[in-house]
Structure 1
């Protein structure tokens, strides 16, 4: 019987592990490599991780047989791609696979935020019927701005159009879409009522949603972050929400996951979600199948299906 290649999971991923276990030997190192026996480390050929946990150069050095790093989603910002390239290690991701799921969930968060669905739900549960929640604005006729017009941005724009919203966007390059493009985020924020962040993390977007951007969005504006927590500076956002400089925010991602600051959690004008937008079962199954195709291609010495752009 042929020996199954060894795969190391740096993150929990039962759907992925179940899918791959038929073909590979699975090892878990969710808390790091320190408790992994040396003989096991020497056999690891593939690491499965995500954009937040990533894989460091030191961890790569501790895995002498490593040839491939697979991230379970689109993001890979915590993977040291330069170190991987220097060591001849390939890196893949699942760009676009979760776009439908994130866009659907994001639209739900926007509805919950603007129409105050969570507040009305709490009021009924507390026996107060409509309570003092007040009235809410319509989405129809409002303007949505999208920062990052990739797969997720495109999907949520089309969903928003179905709600009668007007679309504008900001992206590094112009897209073949019928919507107005803004050259910078502050200009986009000033022109819209709902600002959706759908951009990747990394140095180029670190804290790019500044106090100036939030002030441009204004006291009637709503912010929705479906990208990465690093794009926002949490104290700056919290202050803007607390002081009424923006109307509200819906956040599926945070700077220090899973820690969400108490002062942010205490605010009534936020909808909070535990980085779950892309975790639909259908998406995980598609992503697991893509991951296996990448692993099979790597082991066969053929072209990878979805390498990260830097190594394509």
Structure 2
């Protein structure tokens, strides 16, 4: 059987199917690294040249997710190693969570739940979600799904990113600070890399403004987290819904505020999404070793 390596424990949705087909090794210790031909891991795994040097026969990195900001793609390309992700299968669930976080912040759902559980009943007034101007940073599959869900609520939908999309009617705002200034709610759905690390900084948060809400279901890397903490503490923005953080699973106590809804990076954590992700991760490996392009090939 072809030897494959996972650097962390495999989810139960994925492990049985992999073990039926491949010689699976979990953790580098004791694994036959010179023989390993595939590397499997979640979207937050790190793959750098030092690791690749230890895996001379590696042919494919199969990500169980869509994140790949910790993977040195230039190093893979230089070695002819394929990179595949579980694209599209978690889009709907991540977009659902993004909308849920937004509504939870605007209507104080989490804060009011805590109040009722503690015996309270009288709570501060919340804010209407309908009619707000919605900005989406990153109009890939997930960004589009968020925008489509938000549109029936929105006064206007705007988006930003690398380029305008000719097949959508929403307004394109190329500059992120300008997008924030034009939005009441700013959703982050962009892929993260070294080029946009900390792109949501103090200036962007100031532009979002005292009535603005930030929703992040992309990567914590996109946000200057100390600047976000300061903006929430000072009232520079009204609130935030966060599924991702700078140093997971560490969440600063300063984010434990009634104006913030916290979520444990659970965008794809549904039975349906995890089953589909596992099936696609296996399909990516099977296709590659059968001499065909993986369905989730990242080009």
Shorter-chain TM-score range:
over 0.9
Match of 1:24 in 2: 22
Counterparts of 2:52 and 2:146 in 1: how far apart (Å)? 37
**Which TM-score applies when normalising by structure 2?**
0.95
**Unpaired segments ≥5 residues, structure 1:** none
Task: Give the equivalent residue in structure 2 for 1:135.
Answer: 125
The equivalent position to 2:6 in structure 1, one of 5, 9, 16, is 9
Contact 2:132 2:153 in 1 (8 A): no
1:102 to 80, 94, 118: 94
- Flag as ranges the 4+ runs of structure 1 deviating above 6 A: none
- Residue 105 of structure 2 corresponds to 113
Please name the residue that 1:273 is paired with: 263
How far apart, in 2, do the equivalents of 1:80 and 1:180 lie? 33
Give the drift of 1:76: 0.9
State whether structure 2 residue 253 is matched by structure 1 residue 251: no
RMSD (Å), alpha carbons: 1.4
Q: Offset of 1:47 from its aligned partner?
A: 0.7
Report the equivalent of 2:38: 46
Q: Distance in 2 between matches of 1:161 and 1:223?
A: 17
1:84-103 to structure 2, matched below 5 A, reads 84-103=76-95
Deviation at 1:165, TM superposition (A): 4.5
Within 5 Å, give how 1:1-312 maps onto structure 2: 4-12=1-9, 13-29=11-27, 33=28, 35-37=29-31, 40-129=32-121, 131=122, 133-175=123-165, 176-265=167-256, 267-309=257-299
| Secondary structure class of the residue paired with 2:241 | strand
**Cα shift at 1:285:** 1.5
CA contact (8 A) 1:114 1:136 kept: yes
TM-aligned CA deviation for residue 74 of structure 1: 1.2
The 8 Å contact of residues 250 and 270 in structure 1, kept in 2 or not, is answered as: yes
What is the rounded CA distance, in whole Å, between the counterparts of 2:155 and 2:118 in structure 1? 33
Q: How many residue pairs get matched? A: 297
Q: CA deviation at 1:293?
A: 1.9
Deviating more after overlay: 255-264 vs 5-14 = 5-14
Deviations 1:158-177 (A, max 9, x none): 11123344211112111111
